[in-house]
Amino acid sequence: MVKNILIFSLLFNSFLFAGVYERDCVSCHNKLPVSIDKYFYRYLLKYSSKRAVNEAMIKYLKNPSKDTTIMPDAFISRFGIKQKTILNDNELKKALEEYWDIYKVFGKLK
């Protein structure tokens, strides 16, 4: 019983202190067969800069539609359009900042 309480406490604390990105983005994207980094690279190829990528992602996440997605038609046919984000503007910006820091290629290329 003590072991179960300890495990629950550790899991709860890790969830509680997880970043917005881990808690609100990765938790759902882990269920998809397409890894979350693929979305990032697709946005980066199209928009090039951090500012432009973030603006495009915010626009899409706040109002997802076939017109604002960068995913190909085959992807949309298979998985559909995501639901509108439940994150507020501050949380969304934090999540995108974490996302950018994890997957950015700038400064990592030699």
pLDDT digit string (tens) for the chain, length 110 residues: 666 654 544 444 444 435 877 777 767 767 777 777 888 889 999 998 999 999 999 999 999 998 889 989 998 898 889 889 889 999 999 988 998 888 776 666 55
User: Would you state the pLDDT for residue 25?
Assistant: 76
pLDDT in the model for residue 14: 41
Q: Which residues contact residue 91 at a Cβ distance below 8 angstroms, ignoring those fewer than 6 apart? A: 20, 24
pLDDT at residue 6 in the model:
47
Give the tokens for residue 91.
Answer: 């949380």
Paired tokens of 55: 């603006």
What pTM does this model have? 0.71
For residue 109, the model assigns a pLDDT of 56
pLDDT at 2: 62
Q: E strand or H helix at 46, and its extent?
A: helix 36-47
Q: How many helices (H) and strands (E) does the chain have?
A: 7, 0
